[in-house]
Amino acid sequence: MSLPSLFIPHGAGPCFFMQGHPGFPDIWEPLGDWLRGLATQIGQRPRAILVVSAHWQSPVFSVTASAKPSLLYDYYGFPAHTYLLKYPVSGSPELAGRVCELLRAGGFEAQQDPQRGLDHGAFIPLMLSYPQADIPVLQLSLQRQLDAAQHLAAGRCLAALRDEGVLIVASGMSFHNMRPDQNQLAERARAFDEWLNEAMTAAPTERWERLCNWQQAPYARFAHPTEEHLVPLMVVCGAASEEPAQRIYSERLAGLVDVSAFRLG
């Protein structure tokens, strides 16, 4: 049985581990609760997890290849305890080789990186969804040009992994504007989120076409001044290119910004 592919919002830095800290807004609690129940929603236990995070861009597709990946605390200005979080998960050099093999077979340049660890886009949500840290985790980079069609095609190369027990997770944000103009913020965020849901739930061929041309969406560049938090979605859509998609989480964050998560397959 094939595993699904997922696109999940990963929040802001270590936001799920700051409850009770002075000045911490509680806006992330509903998303944190949802992430804690994600493994139950999936049901089938993965053999391994491949995360495509917004926070790793490389000249060519690269995959972590350490048997014991370190953690990258690549967030800034948070309380000291958030730099002591632990997620002692294993990697899988063998699976890293398989990922590169599949990408190369599809015409992409790909490389293993035995030094790089897991960034917060990978380990923070997994600490909630798979807290036992007993499933090997690898991370796949984005290709630095962030071309939507290229990442859809790369994801298609990885489709076989779903039949091999690998859960492919895109970790980003469906809305990611760190300094939005507050004028009509809610209206614009809602318009983009509605477009994204329509694109995702369209027939597979139409979905592919819409995602290739995502910049034509309403307020696309308002929602994503830079696209690194959206492009991981392309990889998981490619990996399940013929599968139906459904929105599995939706929230109006702080009453202003709509964020969504999707499942394919």
* pLDDT of 23 over the 80 cut: no
pTM: 0.96
The reported pLDDT for the residue numbered 24 is 65
Which pLDDT tens digit goes with each residue over 69-123?
A: 999 999 999 999 999 999 999 999 999 999 999 999 999 999 999 999 999 999 9
For 161-200, list the strands marked E by DSSP.
Answer: 166-172
Per-residue pLDDT, 29: 92
Q: What is the mean pLDDT of residues 210-223?
A: 98
What is the C-alpha to C-alpha distance for residues 255 and 261, in angstroms, rounded to an integer? 17
Closest CA to 91 of 68, 120, 61, 121: 68
* Type and span of the H or E element at 7: strand 5-9
In this predicted structure, the answer to whether residue 153 has a pLDDT above a threshold of 90 is yes
For position 22, what pLDDT does the model report?
66
pLDDT class of 26 with cuts at 50, 70, 90: confident
**pLDDT more than 70, % of the chain:** 98
CB atoms within 10 A of CB 240: 24
Is the pLDDT assigned to residue 19 strictly greater than 90? no
Local structure of 245: helix, strand or coil: strand
What is the structure's pLDDT at 180?
84
| Residue 264, token pair as written in the block | 């394919």
Q: Are strands 5-9 and 166-172 parallel, antiparallel or unpaired?
A: parallel
pLDDT at position 27 is: 87
Identify the weakest region by mean pLDDT among 17-21, 86-90, 246-250. 17-21
Distance CA 167, CA 158 (A): 11
Return the pLDDT at 25: 66
Mean pLDDT of 241-251: 97
Name residue 102's amino acid: L
Res 249 pLDDT > 70: yes
* CA–CA dist 121, 95 (Å, integer): 20
Helix%, strand%, coil% for the chain, nearest 5 = 40, 20, 40
Angle at 143 between CA 137 and CA 149, to 5 degrees: 110
In 89-102, which positions are buried (b, 16+ CB within 10 angstroms) versus exposed (e)?
A: bebbbebbebbbeb
- Segment 160-200, tens digit of pLDDT: 999 999 999 999 999 999 888 888 999 999 999 999 999 99
Average pLDDT over residues 142-154: 98
Give 8's pLDDT tier (boundaries 50, 70, 90): very high
Contact 144, 28 (CB under 8 A): no
Q: Which two tokens stand for residue 232?
A: 């991981």
